[in-house]
Amino acid sequence: MIIFMLMFFVIAIGVTIYLKFPQLHVLNKVSKCSNKKTKQTFYLSLATNLGVGNLVGVSTAIYLGGCGVIFWMALFSIFSSALAFLENYYAISSQVNTEHGTFAGTCYTIVKYLNGRTGKILALIFSIFLILTNTLFFPPIQINAIVSVFPKKHNLLFSIILITVILIITFGGIKSILKVTDKYVGLFAILYFGVLVIAIVTKFDQLGLILKEIIISAFNIKTVGISVFFSMFTTSISKSLFSNEAGLGTIPSLTGISDKNEIEVVSYFQLLGVLVDTLVLCSLTGIFIMIYGDGYNGNIVSMLSYCFKEFLGNIGLIIYAVFIIFFGFVSVLGLYYLGENNLMYLVIYHNVSFKKAKLIYQILFIIGIVIGIFGSFSNIMWLVDIGIIILGTINLFVLIRIENCQKMLKNNHKIT
């Protein structure tokens, strides 16, 4: 696990340098976009990422690794955003047009740029694990967090209602999903941001000490020891990846079908999504927990709810529940569409019946929801780590192996 996270970090830095720090130009690039579909794609991908990773995921990271994880999560997100740019760029350039429509994603990138048997095998493995990730690995943690806010005596009733609503929207197709994500994701992200900023400003006198503690903890190798430091570092990268999925090759299944004429701006939008998701919201969440979580000694899942209660009293618990339910809910919707869209790779390249594959996918998705309702938080997080390692390893290997990367970027779209 440590080796993988170190590798991810080093590669993210290398790609950032290779692309000449595209993070510096992101606001200028996206501000010029007027394409509604491009913005819808951005909101859908943001909805997929703005889940429990920004809430319970940050609590978990601090609980397991200490407050230094806030620094390393933020720093890694800056560099890993370049991976998001690159993988989405390749995905859009690798679109496949069929009688069923236009499809794209990491699987198609692998097939296009890694010719021969190796490419076909890797694409098939990635496709299968991406389907598993978006049914059995990632959705359960979102569902588990949502269910945790319901009263225990009514847990089963609320769970049934939750399953029903999710299945109605997801099985209704992309139009149903976009109606939810397009209208409300931006609004709830701003509301969450606003609540955190107000909470931190009201304790502004503590902010300097909190930031100092975060920095000291992040580099306190001499005191804590090498093993503890690497444990903190590994936790930071793992939770950052879970939060924004940059470099895992998952989100390109959503963004890859964008207009090729918008290839650069879509890629910049995905870079921006990583920064909004982790650098801004996760960092603010971490600082919020540091300020209001002093003295907490409960379980991981309840840490953030405790902080909301400390800030706003009982009304804070209601606000926390609303954010958890919404962010977890829209994330599950995005994950479903991402996985279903990936099914077309098996249909196009392996002659799999779409109807049968979709039925199996929907069954796996329902199983994932059930796991989220009845499974334990620690076991579910273990599944998440498996998904991250497998998808990330394959995706990074593919990005490195694409020999004509530099030529393609220079010839088609100069990054300035």
Tell me how far CA of residue 46 lies from CA of 67, 108, 251, in angstroms: 25, 22, 9
**Angle separating helix axes 314-350 and 117-132, nearest 10 degrees:** 150
Beta bridge partners of 101: 98
Backbone phi, psi, residue 96, to 5°: -120, 125
- Could you identify the residue written with the tokens 């429990």? 52
pLDDT above 70: residue 225: no
Q: Is the dihedral of CA 92, 97, 103, 108 positive or negative?
A: negative
pLDDT in tens, 46-75: 777 777 767 777 888 888 888 899 999 999
- Candidates 263, 215, 276; CA nearest to 415 is 263
pLDDT in tens, 168-223: 776 666 566 666 666 677 788 889 999 999 999 999 999 999 999 999 988 877 65
pLDDT band at 288 (very low <50, low <70, confident <90, very high): very high
pLDDT band at 377 (very low <50, low <70, confident <90, very high): low
- What b/e readout covers 55-90, taking b as 16+ CB neighbours within 10 angstroms? bbbbbbbbbbbbbbbbbbbbbbbbbbbbbbbbbbbb
Give yes or no for a contact between 10 and 206, defined as CB atoms under 8 angstroms apart. no
How far is residue 98's CA from residue 208's CA, in Å, rounded to a whole number? 56
How far is residue 78's CA from residue 237's CA, in Å, rounded to a whole number? 12
